[in-house]
Structure 1
Amino acid sequence: MRYDWSPLWRSTIGFDRLFDAFDEVQRTTEDNYPHYNIERLDENRFQISVALAGFSPDQIALTAEQNVLTLEGRKPEKDSERVYLFRGISTRPFKRQFTLADHVEVKSARFEDGLLVIDLVRQVPEAMKPRQIAINGAQPRQPERIEAKAA
């Protein structure tokens, strides 16, 4: 039996080392709206880009609570000013959640070329970072002096 880890892998930020082995995992047919990318910029910085064509910043809510980042969007129900012959740009309401690893924080969010770009940073507290411990012990011995006698 083969397990599909992709829903967990694709919406989890900061756990990337844990899921490196699942890089080739088959994608599921879950609701994938809106489309997004998760990018690791370096060891402690990540970026989520979400395609939100047709949405404005006031129609989007971004909430970080504990280790969950929630993105919600809702357009007004009726757009009475426009008559569409074809409507291919989806503007349906959505809710997308991302699980964040410990100490991963949202630093900023901005709209850029039709994308909502969310910057994340892993900031491990100093008390939790590895540190070098000095080992105390006996004082180093002084070399013994050997006195030679003249022959």
Structure 2
Amino acid sequence: MTEPIAVPINIFENERELMVVAPMPGVSPEDIEVDVLEDGRMALRAAPRGEGQDRIAHLVREWAYGPYHREFELPVPVDGQRANVTLDNGVLTVTLPKASATMATTLRLGRTGHARGVASGHTGTRGGAASA
């Protein structure tokens, strides 16, 4: 099994929301899990499909893809239960409304169609499937 890649992140904010952006090439939307934890941390996880990729003899390998795992502290409390998660062109975007206290949840994406891996969704229940 390949060691998880600590995916780089960018975090942006405006008056109402926090936005976390992370590149995750090579994964399908349904393979991504986002956890907003009660202690104000976030965990991003994804595993690309195509078992056995680590057994392929690479002649040149300057970049790698998944599995991905990254856990980090959010700078402000957020409402994870009202979050929106999208994956577009291999870039994961999690938009979280700011809150007075962090509301924990697990977010998963659902595929929206045949638009080259584009998916979006949000959830209001722990572990529920995201919906558009």
Specify if TM > 0.5.
yes
CA distance in 2, matches of 1:59, 1:89: 20
Superposition RMSD on alpha carbons, in Å? 2.8
SS at match of 1:75: coil
- 1:100 corresponds to which letter in structure 2? L
Instruction: Give the corresponding residue for 1:119.
Output: 95
Q: Are 1:47 and 2:19 counterparts?
A: yes
Distance 2:57 2:28 in 1: 20
TM-score (norm 2): 0.55
| CA drift at 1:79 | 3.8
Measured after TM superposition, the shift of residue 97 of structure 1 is 1.2
Match of 2:30 in 1: 58
The CA deviation at 1:58 is 2.4
Task: Give percent identity, aligned residues only.
Answer: 21
Q: Decide whether the 8 Å contact of 1:45 with 1:119 is kept in 2.
A: yes
Unaligned runs of 5+ in 2: 102-132
1:37 aligned residue: 10
Distance (whole Å) between structure 2 residues aligned to residue 52 and residue 91 of structure 1: 7
Q: Which of 1 and 2 has higher RCO (CA within 8 Å, sep 6+)?
A: 2
Residues 21, 94 of structure 2: 8 Å contact kept: yes
- Aligned partners of 2:91, 2:21: CA distance in 1, in Å? 6
Structure 2 counterpart SS, 1:104 = coil
Q: Indicate the structure (1 or 2) with the bigger Cα radius of gyration.
A: 1
Deviation (angstroms), 1:44: 2.8
Q: Does the 8 Å contact 1:53/1:89 carry over to 2?
A: no
**C-alpha distance in structure 1 between counterparts of 2:58 and 2:72, whole Å:** 33
> How many residues are aligned here?
92
Output the CA distance in 2 between the equivalents of 1:117 and 1:56: 14
Q: TM-score, normalised by structure 1?
A: 0.49
2:41 corresponds to 1:68:
yes
Q: 1:108 aligns with which of 59, 71, 84?
A: 84
Corresponding letter in the other structure for 2:64: S
Q: 2: distance between equivalents of 1:79 and 1:96?
A: 21
* Contact 1:60-1:72 within 8 A present in 2 as well: yes
Query: Relative to structure 1, is the Cα distance of residues 89 and 56 closer, same or farther in structure 2, using a 3 angstrom cutoff?
Result: farther
Note the alpha carbon deviations across 1:20-41, whole angstroms, 9 max, x for none: xxxxxxxxxxxx831221111x
**What is the distance in 2 between the residues matched to 1:94 and 1:120?**
21
